[in-house]
Amino acid sequence: MGAKLDRLKEILGEVADLNSAAGLLSWDQQTYMPEGGSQARGQHLATLGKLAHSKATSDEVGKLLEDLKAEYANADTGSDEAALVRVAARDYDKAVRVPAEFVAEQAIVSTAAFEAWTQARAKSDFRIFLPHLEKVLALVRKYISFFPPADHPYDTLLDDYEPGMKTAEVQAIFSALRPKQVELIRAIAARPQVNDKFLLRKYDEHKVWAFSADITRTFGYDWSRGRMDKAPHPFETSFSVNDVRITNRFEADKPLTTIFSAMHESGHAMYEQGVNPSYERTSLAHGASLGVHESQSRMWENLVGRSLPFWEYFYPKLKKAFPSHLDGVGLKSFYKAINKVEPSLIRVNADEATYNLHIMLRLELEIAMVEGKVDLNVLPEIWKDRMREYVGVVPPNDALGVLQDVHWSYGSIGYFSTYALGNLISAQLWERVTRDVRGLDDQIRKGKFEGLLNWLRENVHRHGRKYEPQDLVLKATGSKITAEPYIRYLTSKYSDIYGL
């Protein structure tokens, strides 16, 4: 019994090593690799991926898992060993269902689709992308066909990102959320807008970078087990619980977004740094799901990083670093500026109040596409109608509308909802943590984050992939994922800021 589990762990450990190596190669590709290195890097990554896949899907692994599932069928399901067998079996079952030829076909289709999308967006012409989207969608349906029928075909896609989560659950949550959020932004739109001009002045890149790094250190992101490098897009990546890196960028026209990106990515990074070290190189390493991961990044970025208590501590420091930029700008004005609500066309630039509406629009379209209930020809028009209805603005062209996101071009359907789920989970955890950790606001006002971080470590981080997201949230908060805490959070925050 022990021997079989040991052998499984040995093989999966090697798979994890190959994936970690690939992770470093990808990180390097985004940070330091000279341009000439790109073709060979693709080759190296392909070989590592192929070896990892063939190891992970070997007959030996299948046989070991068969035996271990039987052995652990009656074991304490709460034990790490039982969880490991369960999660490893889930990964294995998924990996073996998808034929290698399909993966190869998908790579070819999505490479062409990505090219077409780039062109289509540049020319703002959806028709260039349309035939490729059709092919992508056909492959997505084929992918679904490799799996046993679910309650809803979209379940299969969602499960890759949010294990165990059902489309019906997400729809129910979002149905509760949408009218409230639409109502909120209509109320805000009726109020005078806040001034944020002073955020857009010319800030020194190195000072902003250093200030951002300091915040992540104060949060508790351990720099002896991490670092922050420059990359075209901010992201977090980890090669072990003791080497969890983030990247960031500086955009001269939006200088302070570097600070919020650092908070966001360090939220992801602290999650990875907090996973039980004994899960290292097993199927239980890393985060429970994309949604739970996003709950951590959003919590540190928004519930902490855009809160008044946080800036009571950090604003004097920011003013010291940039005295002339913020001269005469009081704390409350700064706080309002970083929380300004402005219904806009582009998801990635959306504020907290409107962000989820962008997501819901995409989720509804994705579900309809998978169901075959939407004529792809009219997608741009549907997009415009929904934007008007939900967000209150209408894209003047496809580039600012249906073509704005890259995800569909490489077949990532089922992914968007995790962004919105992350927001909901963050507020749900927050309601609980503010009850469990006494005087949390006061701690934050003093720049102390151990109380918060320890709670997250204990209730979320350390569990890694042991629990499915719904179970993890239930364990941590006493309820499955629900929209109410997030609605309460937004309403209270914006009522204060906009005097609703």
Which of 265, 272, 294, 468 is catalytic? The answer is 265
From candidates 18, 360, 400, 460, binder to a second copy by CB under 8 A: 18
- Asked if 20 touches a second copy (CB under 8 A), the answer is yes
DSSP sequence for 226-285: --EEE-SS--EEEEETTEEEEEE---TTSTTHHHHHHHHHHHHHHHHHTS-GGGTTSTT-
Q: How far is the CB of 24 from a second copy (least distance, A)?
A: 6
Question: What is the C-alpha to C-alpha distance for residues 268 and 134, in angstroms, rounded to an integer?
Answer: 34
Q: In what order do the strands lie in the sheet with 228-230?
A: 228-230, 243-248, 236-240
- Asked if 326 touches a second copy (CB under 8 A), the answer is no
352 as an active site residue: the answer is no
Task: Decide whether 37 or 392 has the Cβ nearer to a second copy.
Answer: 37
CA atoms within 13 A on the CB side of 456: 34
Cβ within 8 Å of residue 382, ≥6 positions away: 365, 374
From candidates 32, 138, 475, 500, binder to a second copy by CB under 8 A: 32
User: Mask 50-69, x = binds a second copy (CB under 8 A)?
Assistant: -x------------------
Q: How far is the CB of 441 from a second copy (least distance, A)?
A: 32
Contact region for a second copy (CB under 8 A) — 14-22, 151-159, 334-342, 344-352? 14-22
**CA 299 to mean position of chain CA atoms:** 12
From candidates 3, 39, 373, 438, binder to a second copy by CB under 8 A: 39
- Asked if 323 touches a second copy (CB under 8 A), the answer is no
Question: What is the C-alpha to C-alpha distance for residues 186 and 322, in angstroms, rounded to an integer?
Answer: 35
- Asked if 49 touches a second copy (CB under 8 A), the answer is no
User: Tokens representing 346?
Assistant: 């582009």
- Asked if 13 touches a second copy (CB under 8 A), the answer is yes
Question: What is the C-alpha to C-alpha distance for residues 449 and 443, in angstroms, rounded to an integer?
Answer: 7
From candidates 86, 132, 281, 347, binder to a second copy by CB under 8 A: 281
- Asked if 280 touches a second copy (CB under 8 A), the answer is yes
Considering only residues 218 to 277 of the shown chain, the ones binding a second copy according to CB under 8 A are 222-227, 229, 239-243, 245
Q: Which of 295, 310, 230 is nearest to 262 (CA)?
A: 230
Residue with tokens 């006494």, as numbered in its chain: 438
- Asked if 17 touches a second copy (CB under 8 A), the answer is yes
Backbone angles phi, psi at 255, to 5 degrees: -60, -35
Q: Which residues bind a second copy (CB under 8 A)?
A: 13-14, 17-18, 20-22, 24-25, 28, 32-37, 39-41, 43-44, 47-48, 51, 222-227, 229, 239-243, 245, 280-281
